[in-house]
Structure 1
Amino acid sequence: MGRAPLSLCRKVQGRALGSSGMARALLPLLLVIVLIIETQCKNDTEALKHIVHNKFITGRIIVKREDRCQNGEYSSGVQCCKKCNRGFVKNISCPTDINKHCVPCKNGKEYIHHENDLEECMRCSSCDSILGLEVAKNCTPEQNTECTCAKNYFCNSSVPCGHCNPCTICESGVIEKQCTSTSDTVCGMKETGLQWWATALMIMVVLLPIAGAIFWYKRKWKNRTRKENLNEVVLKAVASYENVPLIHRDIDLSSHVAEIVEEMTLQQVKTFVRNHKVPEPIIDQTIRDYLNDTSEQKIKLFQVWYQRHGMKGAYVNLIRSLREFKMCAAADKIEEKLKAAVSSCQEGGQSHGDDTEQSKTCTEESRKILLSVDSADLSKTCSSSFEET
């Protein structure tokens, strides 16, 4: 019994001595591995230091090289190159003589407004008349085009404006401040000697009895007066057209433009086209295009209106508008010319026969046209003609 524990203790001691022996054998191997790792880390550190040092040296060299370039030059990495002056760009990669190696921009088409090392000029801007713009300064090799608002247009922006707005037209007729290229029209109110309520009171007190008497009289004789006036106007109008050939509502005016504008002044033509919504920039551009030829200005302005309006109803609109604008003398002369032209055309057609039937048709159609016009319009037209005469 006493020997068994003793043998067991000896076995345990033998195993412990074996384990310590293995540890002693592995220790040198561990030391070698640690030494290798330490050496590799040291080499990497030295390589990193060398890279940083090289970059620092290279940076100092580049800075010194850039410091050598003078004002008006730039570094290409190897040498200093000359910058081209305003209005010029380089024609080689590194100019050394601006007189030889810089070429000018195309006048009126390209520009460059600063010292540069560019190879191409910038294109000049254009001023679009449709947007209400016109040229303030033409483009040069050293400066871009400068635009401003055209006449009767404004833009209140502090930066160069790309679109101008039409100036306000004062309905009261009182202008406190004229429209400029940077500010709109400032309208005022009509001044009266008395306050509006005092004026209205005076009118009521003075005119109320008179208005009552007139109203009573008009009510009594309303139907009779209306019938007499309408008959008189229609009879006069038909009489004036009785012996005149038919003027069609849709007559082609394109071949009669010169004859029409011959009876109108330039100001009358401008007033006519302006009241028919022809844009102001187009009117101004047409005047500038034919600056010393008044006849051509009138023809071109009238053609602009006719192209926008079209043939349908153009003749009636022309004559009626001239009378409304108090140009009755011009309207009468134009009417006579066009009737003569159509009459001449009809006479040419009568040589082939049917002259009696055509004359009858013209007269009947003239009556229909006159009678189809509203009586109020006829009265207004006739009264306008009478006032001008």
Structure 2
Amino acid sequence: MLLTLRGLPSEQYFLLGFHFVLVFGKDCGPAEYKTNDGQCCPMCNKGLVVRRDCTLVFSTSCMPCIRGTFMNEANGLTKCFPCSPCDPGQGLFTQTECKPTSNTVCDVLDGYYCRSYSSNSECSLAVEHTHCSPGQSTKSPGTKTTDTMCEECQHGFYSQHGVNCTAWTDCKAIGQYKTEDGSQTRDVVCGKSEESLRNRAIVLVPSSVLLFVVFIFVLFVTKGKETKENQLSPKLPVEETGFHERSPVAVEELHSETIPQL
């Protein structure tokens, strides 16, 4: 190397020295990367990584990312990044497929919210929203970033499914009385009031007696009418059958048998 440099003009010495400073200097340019031996080389573009570092003669040699990998920035790396999976078991689904220049874009499943984020602020783990218990109401429904907020039902209200708190039934307002108290999970039980039952009895008993009297009256009237008809109808002689059919001899014999002989 030294032998070949001795015959060079002074201008070329200067150019080689300037190039040496650029290539092997401490700081590289914004679009360059530094090799292991301290050389500055041009970066590879998105979707590409370094195959071979640059030399004094050749620039950086780059190669594309293979399927399942990506590179989303200019770089001096030799390997692409692996694409992120969107695991439904972690409450995620694939919104945008991975490409050589960009990573997979995951989103949160319906009914889930993100509980863990990666370094690039993307969701890496989502869990199912909390379901409010009976006796509670949903104060604030869950979103993709927040969980459901629940609150207890106040006295006089109940919730069977953990959605809304409903006021206990007012038994007096519907003309009944309370037979069982309510709780946070069930409504009160209403029954017919004693006054209502008494009023019904006051109406039903006289009505039953009146119907019975009417029935007896109709029965007597019908019976009396049948008796009167039997008394007014004439008694007619009943024709005996078989007497006229006998022969005169039989009649004479019968007469002789009935009259004793003297």
TM over 0.5: no
| Structure with more helix by fraction | 1
Structure having the higher Rg: 2
Asked which structure has the greater RCO (Cα within 8 Å, sep 6+), the reply is: 1
Bin the TM-score by the shorter chain: 0.3 to 0.5
Q: TM-score, normalised by structure 2?
A: 0.43
